[in-house]
Chain A
């Protein structure tokens, strides 16, 4: 890349973000599943997220896009307090689930994570059998009382994740022996088995080939009817294909939130336009 273009990019990069443009809020309060107001996240002295205001609606897929290091994963992890495990990480502002503050003292992080499940970038099945992987959460929380119910739950979860047909004869085989795409679907089945209300997905298909990606995208579209899904993705095509709303993050700030169609066809903010047209990122 010549210096000229690099300089130009830097200029485009340096546009000041004053306020989030577009429609970060949802009008009807009964449609809101999660809401954050003035959310800041710090790693030690370094601030990673600056005053994010955003509503996540019920039964919608909201995609979060933006260049690497823009804080979208950090924001996602703040939504189910996965950041708690990082000692130097601090979250401030208001983050609510069904109107309840998830960072209040009364909120139990274990209960929260049972309600807000997470699927990670790299498929991470436990080194146990497929069955035990799916049954893990249910056993952990005591969701079922007998073996037959557990069998049913495992089957239902695997079916919902579109994996049951492929593994029904090998439920006792290790989950780590599956292919990458199957492993990720196993991880989704494992998350569904706990019956969460919100599923957070942190680049769930970035390690997968296009075919596996397509299967998972289809799956997400079906899951939308029962769950709220927030997905972080680097693929703008993916965001365009699956999400109803898209949020664009830049340098820790939420730049623009709009209906996905609008973001990709008619972005309001200059930075969003620069990003989706591939001028940087």
Chain B
């Protein structure tokens, strides 16, 4: 016998006020990164044991589990490790223009940034391609200071 759904039960719509939450985050590495971005510099933290460079940097090495504090500056060029071509927004609505969103490993560091790659046809995008950061004219110390990446 096929399953028959029963009578509709009552529904009570609610909203959840996320602003009631006050999250604390590890912010020293984030501050070092965003402060540097005001001068178009990208800075992270290097582990003196395993040489891993984190951006934004935590003040402990996630591999060695030791405290680390060496601030290093890395290049704003990098390599595409993987990418996706966005065709819909976060709610699934189609985007007017297809957009390459890439995981980019910046030179001299181990962290994979996510950023959009522009000024190229998405069909030409490849894992391993080289890209550079395109900065805004007047950086504010925010992630949006890097407007996008472009192929080198």
- The answer on A and B forming one complex is no
Q: Which residues of A contact B (CB under 8 A)?
A: none
Q: Which residues of B contact A (CB under 8 A)?
A: none
